[in-house]
Amino acid sequence: MKLSSIRSEYDGESIESLPADPHVGAELWLEHALKVEAEATAFSLATTGADGRLSVRVVLAKEITSAGVTFYTNGHSLKGLQLDKQPVAAGVFFWPKQHRQIRFEGAVTRTTAAEADEYFASRPHASRVASAVSNQSAPLAHYHELKTRFEKALAEYAGLPVPRPPHWGGYIVAFERVEFWQGQPNRLHQRLHYDLQSDGSYKRTWLEP
């Protein structure tokens, strides 16, 4: 399949007025994306294994603060195991309708157990059951096996609270390096890079497209 003839035209607003703190800019962009994009909270998360190999997948952001971007997952999954060994990650939001992306890199920390409990309890009942029965990333003989396990647990937990598995919780990717990208005509895209400084402020640098 040859793709070289595919073209997109970009015509975005200037990003010169973005605030000094990248998490504020990220919130502003996400707030707008939620109005026009499908799955606006989805971002690609890259982690590293002990062998140096990169692994990437799409996860859902559940909070953006000055601390970074929070997502939740099974700690026994590939990403959870990799983050236990190498607690650093990179992520990127991409919003095609607005020709925008935000990429970020930083150290990864865990949310508190109380925060994980609160978010887990807010999820739909069936989603909590699914998290309780899934051995995420483990080999599975057949999908029917998982469905059977889920249906059995769904009946067992009918009308009952589902406890959060101890290995299931939240991860926060810090905003140590952040780049806002806005598509512009003639491929003269705008790129504004933020570097976290020792005093907690950010150095802003324009990058060529």
Contact present, 179 and 207 (Cβ < 8 Å): yes
For residue 46, being part of any structural domain is answered with yes
For residue 102, being part of any structural domain is answered with yes
Q: Which two tokens stand for residue 79?
A: 């990403």
Q: Which two tokens stand for residue 66?
A: 């000055």
For residue 119, being part of any structural domain is answered with yes
Query: What pLDDT sits at residue 84?
Result: 96
Number of domains in the chain: 1
Query: What pLDDT sits at residue 7?
Result: 87
Closest CA to 174 of 107, 98, 112, 117: 107
Distance, C-alpha 85 to centroid of its chain:
19
Residues of the chain with pLDDT under 50: none
Matching residue, tokens 């930083």: 106
Each residue's pLDDT tens digit, 177-190: 999 999 999 999 99
Query: What pLDDT sits at residue 11?
Result: 87
Query: What pLDDT sits at residue 42?
Result: 98
Query: What pLDDT sits at residue 147?
Result: 96
The CATH number given to whatever domain includes residue 32 is 2.30.110.10
Share of the chain above pLDDT 70, in %: 100
For residue 117, being part of any structural domain is answered with yes
pTM above 0.85, yes or no: yes
For residue 109, being part of any structural domain is answered with yes
Q: Which structural domain range is residue 182 located in?
A: 22-124+165-207
For residue 149, being part of any structural domain is answered with no
For residue 83, being part of any structural domain is answered with yes
For residue 50, being part of any structural domain is answered with yes
Q: Which two tokens stand for residue 143?
A: 């999908």
Query: What pLDDT sits at residue 44?
Result: 98
